[in-house]
C-alpha cells in the first residue's frame, strides 16, 4: 500500500546538486543511480597509503612531541600472524596537539595487555566476522578476552539530567521539509501514522522525556514507526540519515515496556534475560543508542545495559547480571555473554537491528543468525523484530525477511538516498596533491568541525599525524585503536576540543555528532551506500551540511581493477 499521507507535498528534491570541481571528464556516472541522491559513482578499489614511508620517516617527530602519555597509540597491531608481536612494533602515539603521545616505550603503556593480545590476530584469527569490521571487535570479544582480560572500564554514564538530555542535535531550518518527503508503506493493514507526539498515546514519562529532548513534532519515520511498533507489528524502516530512526524504535519500545510492565528475570548464576536486545555494528554506535535509551526512559524504573568489545568483560557483566530491560550490544560481545550463560533470550520481546543492512551482510550475518536461531530465543511470532537503516539493498531486504513476521516496510523517500540537506562537492585531486588539498580546505574552513574519512587505518594514522604536525587539532578513530583511545577521540571531537576527526568507516554509520560542518572523503568509499552513510554525518535533522569528496580519475576510475597492495594489509577496512 502506498501511503501518501501528505498530499500537499511533492517528493522533496535535493537542496543541493552535487558540484564537481576541476576536470570531471573522466567521471563515469553509473546510469542506474542519480548523483543527486548521492548515489552513482562507480565501484572502485583505491590504492592507498602511498606515503606511508614518509610517515615512517617522520614518526619520531610525533613521538618527540609527546606529553602526558595518556593515550598511547600502538602501530604494530594489525598484523596477520608474524607482525602481531608487540616487540617489533613501532609505537607512534598521538592524540594530537602534543597532549597525548605515547612515549614509544611499549612496556610502559597502560592497557598493554589489551593491545598486546590484540595483535597478530587479523584475518582468519577466529573467523568470527570475516570482514573484520570494527577492527578489534572481531577478535577480542571472545578469544582474546578469554586469554587476557581487557582492563578498560569506560566512564560511568552520567546521572546528570541536563547532560542526559543534551545529546540532541537541534533541528535545522529544513526540518519541516521532512514532511514533504513521500512515504511508502508496504504490508498488510498498517496502522495510521500519528501526527504529533501528544496524540500518539504515549505515556507521560515518555512524553515528558520527548519534550525535554526538545522534540516538537515527529519526523516521518517516527510518525509511521511509532504506531506500527505500538501495535505489535514487525518493521523494516528506511529513512535518510539524521532523520530520527533511533527514537522511532526506542520511543514505542520504551512505551510498551512501561505500559505492559513485566518482571525482570535474572536466571541462575546471574544470567540476565533482557526484554529488548538492540544490536548495532560498532561500539560507538552502541554506546550512543544506550545513551539515547537512557534518555527516553529517564526517571522510569527501566534498566538499560550496554555490552561492547574493547572493555573489561567483568564490569559489563556485573551490570548486566543485575538485570536489564534493554540490552544494547555489539554482536561479538553479546555472544560472548550468551556463551558464558550471562545473557539469554528467554524473555525477549523486541529484537532490533540498527544499521540492519550492515548487520545482515556477510560479515555480521553469522552472528545475527546465531542470535535469532539461539535455543533460548523466543519464537518469531512471540517477539517483535525491528530493522532500521538509511540504506537497504534489495538482496539484503530479502535475507531480512527470514527474521521478520508479517512485517511492514516503511520507506521515507528513496531507499538508500543521501540526505537532501548535504551539499555534495567533488574535487578532482591527483594522489600526490591530496594532502595539500586537505590542508588548504581545513585552513579555508578555520573553526569548522571537519570529519575526514579515509579507507585504511594506516592512512587514518598518517593523515591525523600529518595534520597534528601542522598544529591542526586532530583526533583519529579506527579499529586498531584501543577502545579508550576511540572514545577519547570521539569525545574530543564532540566537545570541540579537536576540530578535526580522521576516521575509517568505523565512524561512517549512525554517529550523531553536533555541528559537523564538513565531511571530507579523502579516499572515496568502496560503495555508494557507504558514501551515503559517511556524508550523512553532516546535514542532520534539517541542518545543512557539506560533503567534499576527493577523487583521482586515474586512481579511482581508470584503474578500477587496481587492488590494494598485497604487501600491505588488505583487511584494513576499518
Ligand atoms: N522529532 C525530532 N525532533 C527533533 N530532533 C529529533 C527528532 N527525532 C530525532 N531527533 C534528533 O535528530 C538527530 C538524529 O537522529 P538519529 O541519530 O536517530 O538519526 P538516524 O536517522 O538514526 O541517522 P543515521 O541514519 O545516521 O543513523 C538526533 O540528535 C536526535 O536527537
Q: Write out the residue limits of the CATH 3.40.50.300 domain(s) in the chain.
A: 161-412, 422-565
pLDDT in tens, 490-503: 999 999 999 999 99
User: Is 168 a pocket residue for ligand 1 (Cβ < 6 Å)?
Assistant: yes
pLDDT in tens, 334-365: 999 999 999 999 999 999 999 999 999 999 99
Q: Please check the confidence at residue 142 and state whether its pLDDT lies above 50.
A: no
How far is 162 from 555, CA to CA, in rounded Å? 48
DSSP summary character for residue 556: I
Instruction: Tell me which residue of 526, 571, 480 sits closest to 135, measured CA to CA.
Output: 480
How far is 123 from 78, CA to CA, in rounded Å? 9
pLDDT at 523: 96
User: Is 536 a pocket residue for ligand 1 (Cβ < 6 Å)?
Assistant: yes
- The strand pair at 183-186 and 408-412 is best described as antiparallel
Residue of higher predicted confidence among 7 and 149: 149
DSSP summary character for residue 6: -
pLDDT in tens, 510-528: 999 999 999 999 999 999 9
Q: What's the fold here for domain 422-565?
A: Rossmann fold (3.40.50)
| Candidate from 243, 388, 535 with most ligand 1 atoms within 8 A of CB, to mutate | 243
Rounded mean pLDDT, 318-345: 96
- Contact 327/306 with Cβ under 8 angstroms? yes
- Contact 499/450 with Cβ under 8 angstroms? yes
pLDDT at 224: 98
- CA 547 to chain centroid, in Å, comes to 18
Q: Please check the confidence at residue 531 and state whether its pLDDT lies above 50.
A: yes
User: Is 169 a pocket residue for ligand 1 (Cβ < 6 Å)?
Assistant: yes
How far is 432 from 438, CA to CA, in rounded Å? 11
Q: SS3 for 567?
A: coil
**Can you read off the three cell numbers belonging to residue 479?**
579499529
* CA of 288, closest atom in ligand 1: 17
- ipTM above 0.90? yes
User: Is 178 a pocket residue for ligand 1 (Cβ < 6 Å)?
Assistant: no
Under the banding of pLDDT at 50, 70 and 90, the label for residue 484 is very high
- Contact 568/122 with Cβ under 8 angstroms? no
Residue of higher predicted confidence among 431 and 503: 503
- Contact 139/125 with Cβ under 8 angstroms? yes
pLDDT at 203: 97
Exposed/middle/buried for residue 490 (C-beta within 10 Å: 0-12, 13-18, 19+): buried
**Strand segments (E) across 245-335:** 265-267, 271-273, 276-279, 304-307, 326-329
User: Is 244 a pocket residue for ligand 1 (Cβ < 6 Å)?
Assistant: yes
* CA of 221, closest atom in ligand 1: 21
How far is 573 from 508, CA to CA, in rounded Å? 12
Distance between Cα 541 and ligand 1 center (Å):
6
How far is 101 from 244, CA to CA, in rounded Å? 37
Q: What's the fold here for domain 161-412?
A: Rossmann fold (3.40.50)
Share of the chain above pLDDT 70, in %: 71
| Candidate from 291, 508, 529, 541 with most ligand 1 atoms within 8 A of CB, to mutate | 541
pLDDT in tens, 550-573: 998 776 654 443 332 222 222 223
pLDDT at 19: 52
**Can you read off the three cell numbers belonging to residue 332?**
561479538
- Contact 28/557 with Cβ under 8 angstroms? yes
Residue of higher predicted confidence among 113 and 548: 548
**Can you read off the three cell numbers belonging to residue 329?**
550490544
pLDDT at 137: 35
Under the banding of pLDDT at 50, 70 and 90, the label for residue 38 is very low
pLDDT at 443: 96
Distance between Cα 247 and ligand 1 center (Å):
7
Amino acid at each position: 500500500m502506498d501511503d501518501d499521507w501528505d498530499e500537499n507535498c511533492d517528493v522533496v528534491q535535493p537542496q543541493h546538486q552535487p558540484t564537481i570541481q576541476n576536470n570531471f571528464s573522466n567521471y563515469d556516472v553509473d546510469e542506474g543511480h542519480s548523483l543527486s541522491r548521492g548515489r552513482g559513482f562507480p565501484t572502485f578499489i583505491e590504492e592507498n597509503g602511498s606515503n606511508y614511508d614518509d610517515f615512517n620517516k617522520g614518526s619520531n617527530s610525533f613521538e618527540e612531541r609527546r606529553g602526558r602519555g595518556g593515550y598511547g597509540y600502538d602501530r604494530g597491531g594489525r598484523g596477520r600472524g608474524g607482525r602481531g608481536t608487540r616487540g617489533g612494533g613501532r609505537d607512534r602515539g598521538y592524540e594530537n596537539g602534543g597532549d597525548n603521545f605515547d612515549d614509544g616505550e611499549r612496556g610502559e603503556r597502560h592497557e598493554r595487555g589489551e593491545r598486546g593480545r590484540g595483535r597478530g590476530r587479523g584475518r582468519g584469527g577466529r573467523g568470527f566476522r570475516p570482514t573484520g569490521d570494527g577492527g578489534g571487535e572481531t577478535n577480542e570479544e571472545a578469544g582474546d578476552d578469554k586469554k587476557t582480560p581487557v582492563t578498560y572500564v569506560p566512564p560511568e554514564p552520567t546521572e546528570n539530567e541536563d547532560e542526559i538530555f543534551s545529546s540532541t542535535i537541534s533541528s535545522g531550518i529544513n526540518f519541516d521539509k521532512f514532511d514533504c518527503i513521500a512515504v511508502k508503506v508496504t504490508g498488510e493493514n498498517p496502522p495510521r501514522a500519528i501526527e504529533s507526539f501528544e496524540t500518539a498515546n504515549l505515556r507521560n514519562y515518555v512524553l515528558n522525556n520527548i519534550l525535554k529532548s526538545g522534540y516538537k513534532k515527529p519526523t516521518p519515520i517516527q510518525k509511521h514507526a511509532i504506531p506500527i511498533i505500538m501495535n505489535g507489528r514487525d518493521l523494516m524502516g528506511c529513512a535518510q540519515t539524521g532523520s530520527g530512526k533511533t527514537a522511532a524504535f526506542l520511543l514505542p519500545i520504551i512505551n510498551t515496556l512501561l505500559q505492559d510492565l513485566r518482571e525482570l528475570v535474572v536466571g541462575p548464576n546471574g544470567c540476565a534475560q533482557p526484554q529488548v536486545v538492540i544490536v548495532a555494528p560498532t561500539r560507538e554506535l552502541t554506546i550512543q543508542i544506550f545513551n539515547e535509551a537512557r534518555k527516553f526512559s529517564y526517571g522510569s524504573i527501566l534498566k538499560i545495559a550496554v555490552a561492547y568489545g574493547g572493555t573489561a568483560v567483568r564490569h559489563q557483566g556485573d551490570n548486566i547480571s543485575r538485570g536489564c530491560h534493554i540490552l544494547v550490544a555489539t554482536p561479538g560481545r553479546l555472544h560472548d555473554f550468551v556463551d558464558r550463560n550471562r545473557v539469554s533470550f528467554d524473555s525477549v520481546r523486541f529484537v532490533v537491528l540498527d544499521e540492519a543492512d550492515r548487520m545482515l551482510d556477510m560479515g555480521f550475518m553469522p552472528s545475527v543468525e546465531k542470535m535469532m536461531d539461539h535455543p533460548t530465543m523466543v519464537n518469531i511470532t512471540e517477539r517483535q523484530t525491528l530493522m532500521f537503516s538509511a540504506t537497504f539493498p534489495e538482496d539484503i531486504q530479502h535475507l531480512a525477511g527470514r527474521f521478520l513476521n508479517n512485517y511492514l516496510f516503511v520507506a521515507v523517500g528513496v531507499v538508500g538516498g543521501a540526505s537532501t540537506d548535504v551539499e555534495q562537492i567533488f574535487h578532482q585531486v591527483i594522489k600526490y596533491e591530496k594532502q595539500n588539498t586537505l590542508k588548504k580546505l581545513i585552513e579555508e574552513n578555520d573553526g569548522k568541525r571537519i570529519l575526514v574519512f579515509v579507507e585504511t587505518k594506516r592512512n587514518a594514522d598518517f593523515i591525523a599525524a600529518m595534520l597534528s604536525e601542522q598544529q591542526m587539532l586532530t583526533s583519529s578513530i579506527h579499529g586498531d585503536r584501543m577502545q579508550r583511545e576511540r572514545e577519547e577521540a570521539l569525545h574530543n571531537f564532540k566537545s570541540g576540543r579537536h576540530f578535526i576527526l580522521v576516521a575509517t568507516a568505523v565512524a561512517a554509520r549512525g554517529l550523531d555528532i553536533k555541528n559537523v560542518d564538513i565531511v571530507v572523503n579523502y579516499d572515496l568509499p568502496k560503495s555508494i551506500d557507504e558514501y551515503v552513510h559517511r556524508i550523512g554525518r553532516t546535514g542532520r535533522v534539517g541542518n545543512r551540511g557539506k560533503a567534499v569528496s576527493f577523487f583521482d580519475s586515474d586512481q579511482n576510475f581508470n584503474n578500477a581493477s587496481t587492488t590494494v597492495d598485497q604487501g600491505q594489509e588488505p583487511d584494513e577496512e576499518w
